[in-house]
Amino acid sequence: MSQELMPTVLRAAAANDLPDPQALRQLPHPTLVLAWDTDPSHPVATAEALADLLPDAEVHISRDLADIRTGGARAAEFLAG
């Protein structure tokens, strides 16, 4: 995908609603939801709503750039159990 198209694709993805709530409630997998408190495309409220629907979700909200940069390590730790 070209770099010129990426912003359009990301905006379109952000504009879509969450998946069917009933389907989310039935997911058996632990889920890590990462959010950034100043992300204009993905509000914290969306991350919290998603986590509320998932039966085994953990939410982390980053509040500064240093914390955002820990996302990869945080995801690796989550996946390692």
**pLDDT tens-digit map of 34-58:** 999 998 878 898 899 999 999 999 9
Q: Is residue 14 part of a domain?
A: yes
What is the value of pTM for the model shown?
0.73
> Under a CB-based contact definition with an 8 Å cutoff, are residues 44 and 61 in contact?
yes
- Is residue 49 in some structural domain? yes
Do the beta carbons of residue 46 and residue 52 sit within 8 Å? Answer: no
pLDDT value at residue 80: 95
Full domain range(s) for residue 68: 6-80
SS3 13: helix
Higher local confidence (pLDDT), 20 or 56: 56
Question: How many domains does the structure of the chain reveal?
Answer: 1
10 within a domain of the structure (yes/no): yes
Whether residue 1 is contained in a domain is answered as no
Residue 62 neighbours by CB under 8 Å, 6+ apart: 34, 35, 36, 37, 68, 70, 71
30 touches 42 (CB < 8 A): no
Average pLDDT value for residue range 24-43: 91
Contact, 47 vs 38, CB < 8 A?
Answer: no
Residue 46 counted as domain residue: yes
